[in-house]
Amino acid sequence: MPIDYLPVLFMVGFVAFGGVMALIISSIVRPKNPYAEKLTPWECGMEPIGGATEGHFRIHFFVVAILFIIFDVETLFLFPWAVIITDASISTIIFVEMVVFLFVLAIGLVYAWAKGALDWIK
């Protein structure tokens, strides 16, 4: 019945109201003093040079971020695998599937390493 979902609706409304109120209050009380140094782009701890002053950043930072996310998601896949592997009837199949998964990711890591995607260039 729709009346059973009323507490969920109240919770969604409360969370939405709280989020909107947090945005409104923070926009009212935040300091508003922009100046040139504050508005310059910041390139991962290095002074912006060349095209970075116009907002153009080297792609290297994004490649490192994407590689980090890929291997972070791999770790998320390893947790359920470690829990399910205790069942002896399907543990061999699951183990082989995870080894293949890790092997494919390892090939990708070796490829990225060989191409120099992990070299930090200043």
Domain ranges of the chain: 1-32, 40-122
* 9 vs 99: CA distance, rounded Å: 44
Please answer whether residues 57 and 43 qualify as being in contact, where contact means their C-beta atoms are separated by less than 8 angstroms: yes
Give the mean pLDDT of 101-122.
83
**Could you say which DSSP state residue 53 is in?**
G
Which residues neighbour 70 within 8 Å (Cβ) at sequence distance 6 or greater? 105, 108
Annotation: CATH topology of 40-122: Methane Monooxygenase Hydroxylase; Chain G, domain 1 (1.20.58)
Instruction: Give pairs for 69-78: CB < 8 Å, separation 24+.
Output: 70/105, 70/108, 71/105, 71/109, 74/101, 74/102, 74/105, 77/101
pLDDT band at 66 (very low <50, low <70, confident <90, very high): confident
Tell me which residue has tokens 């009212």.
28
> Residue 108 corresponds to which amino acid?
G
Digit-coded pLDDT (tens) for 8-41: 999 999 999 999 999 999 999 988 888 877 777 6
